[in-house]
Structures are given as C-alpha cells and as structure tokens.
Copies of this chain bind each other. A is one copy, B any other.
Amino acid sequence: MTMEIICINGVQFMLREYGKGHKWCHGQFKARGYRMTLGREAILDVLAQANRHLSAEDIFMKVYKVYPNIGLTSVYRTLDILVNIGLVHKFDFGHGRARYELAEEPKGRRHHHHLVCTGCSRVIDYEDFIDEEVALLKKTEEALSIKYNFTIMNHLIQFYGLCQICRNEGK
C-alpha cells in the first residue's frame, strides 16, 4: 500500500508497456495546468489502447490491474476533465451508462460516427463518410448558425438499427 513499491514497479512497468503513443495527450493535459499522475497516465493508456467504447467501470477495472491504487472516483474525475478539455468524447448509447472514447488527434484517430445495434448493443464506428456527407454537414451547420444565431461546436450523429447477427436471429 506504500507508494514506493507500487510506484517503482508501476512506473517501470508503465514506462515499458504504457506511456507510448499519447505524448500529445500529455502535452494537452499539462498545458491546461493539470498535473500528470500515475492514475491519469494509466487512464490515458487504457483509452489509447481500447478498441471499443469503455464505461467508467471498464476503465477502472483495466487501470486497476496495473495500478491497484486507483479509485473509481478518480476515473470519473479524470474523464470529466478529459471530456471538458476535448481529449475524450462521452457518449450515451442508451445502455444505462456513459461510454468514453479518445477523441480524434492531429495525426491519430479520425472523427467518426456510430451505428448502434438495438439488439446486442454493439456499436460500430464508421468514418468512411461519403464526401457529400461532410459537405452537407458543413453546409447545414453554416445555415443553422445563421438562421438560429447558434454557434455550433460539435455534433452527434448515430444510426440505430440491427446488425447482421441480430437481424438473422430475428431479435
């Protein structure tokens, strides 16, 4: 429980297995005046390596394995910060809990939208927009901005339906 052992082990382990590929996130984080801690670093690592949309508890459990000192509260707090900064996107897919995902980076993951299966709750990312989709989106945003005097910061676009598996099962 002393920070020593876990800290030493944690740091060394992290420096090897983690702490890669999100220097940019670190920069953004500290640039905003936030302190970088082991917990926060681990959370960023988990998010960076996630291939699905994680809940706060998902993240907590993954972080716990490498950093047992972590508390669920800190996960929520860190996610809150990350969402406010814009480094992480928070989604509600109707599963009763929020899901988080690393936001697009300069030369990292691209912006995308979601297909949500109402049968099995799976979520599919898609970013292969038709060029037209982007064009109309921009056009719509501009028109709306003017008509409603509304400054659009971002958008949420989700399609609900049934994935192949669920459709075959007749759910």
Contact = CB atoms under 8 A, between A and B. Distances in A.
Q: Interface residues of A: mostly helix, strand, loop or mixed?
A: mixed
A124 B141 CA distance: 14
A140 interface: yes
State which size class the interface on A falls in. 35 or more
A52 interface: no
Given A115-B148, A162-B151, A143 B130 contact: yes
A160 B149 contact: no
A159 B167 contact: no
B133 A129 contact: no
Contacts of A148: 115, 124, 126, 163
A161 interface: yes
Given A155-B157, A156-B157, A157-B155, A162 B140 contact: no
A1 interface: no
The complex is assembled from copies of this chain, and their number is 2
Contact of A144 (B115, B136, B154): B115
A164 interface: yes
A163 B118 CA distance: 32
A153 B163 CA distance: 11
Contacts of A132: 136, 139-140
Contacts of A143: 128-130
Given A115-B144, A128-B143, A155 B150 contact: no
Interface of A: 92, 94, 115, 117-118, 124, 126, 128-130, 132-133, 136, 139-141, 143-144, 147-164, 167
